Amino acid sequence: RATDLVHAKIERESAQQKADAKFYGDSKSADAFFYAEKQKAEASYLAKVKGADALIYQQRQEAEANFYRATKEAEAAFVAKQKEANGIAEMAKAYEHMSSVLGGPQGLLQYMMLQNNTYEKLAKANAEAIRGLQPKITVWNTGEKADGGDPMAPVRNLMQSLPPLLSTINEHTGIAPPGWLAKMDGVEGTELM
């Protein structure tokens, strides 16, 4: 019986050692699996963090480049406007000197109109404006130049020019003079038309 007891104790210790070994092996396998999964998770996390950092860095670089470009464009536009303003100021000074040489602003204006062919352009525009029109032109003579010192000559000339003037207005526009102008009441033979 003692041998059976020793055999049973040996078997029990052997079974306990096998169980402990199996537990230890399973524990180490689980630890290894956990360690591998932890390493994968950490690697994935680090890859994502690095990817995010790279994206942030890239976006920051692009933003800085855009800001730098916009700043330089604004500076260039400012310098261009400043140069344009300086040019206009210098032109104003030159025009001021030209004005004093040409007898004042009117002389400068006439010079510039000649330089820019403004008179020619106005003549062409006037010609275009009346092209195709068929105006009626009436020429009349109200008398001789020498009136011999007649003090009533200006009044007589004015009165002689009224009938042709009113007739011309009527021919061109169709507007007849009012009755009080064409005929004076109470005076015989004073009809102007």
Both structure tokens of 37: 């999964």
Strands, E assignment, 5-154 = none
pLDDT digits (tens, 9 = 90+) for 112-138: 888 999 989 999 998 888 888 776 666
Closest to 181 measured CA to CA, from 170, 39, 172 = 170
pLDDT for residue 162 is more than 70: yes
What is residue 74's predicted lDDT score, i.e. its pLDDT?
A: 96
What pLDDT is attached to residue 191? Answer: 45
Q: Is the pLDDT of residue 157 over 90?
A: no
pLDDT at 186: 39
- Give the least confident one: 14-18, 49-53, 55-59, 69-73: 14-18
Angle at 161 between CA 155 and CA 163, to 5 degrees: 120
Q: Which of 186, 170, 187 is nearest to 178 (CA)?
A: 170
pLDDT at residue 172 above 80?
no
| pLDDT given at position 148 | 59
pLDDT at 7: 80
DSSP per position, 122-182:
HHHHHHHHHTT------------S--TT-TTHHHHHHHHHHHHHHHHHHHHH-PPPPHHHH
Which pLDDT belongs to residue 36? Answer: 92
Q: Residue 39: what pLDDT? A: 92
DSSP state of 116: T
Residue 190 confidence (pLDDT): 39
Task: Return the residue matching tokens 């042709």.
Answer: 164
Mean pLDDT, range 93-114, rounded to an integer: 89
- Model confidence at 69: pLDDT above 90: yes
- pLDDT higher than threshold 90 for residue 156: no
Give the mean pLDDT of 163-192.
64
Write down the pLDDT at residue 66. Answer: 96
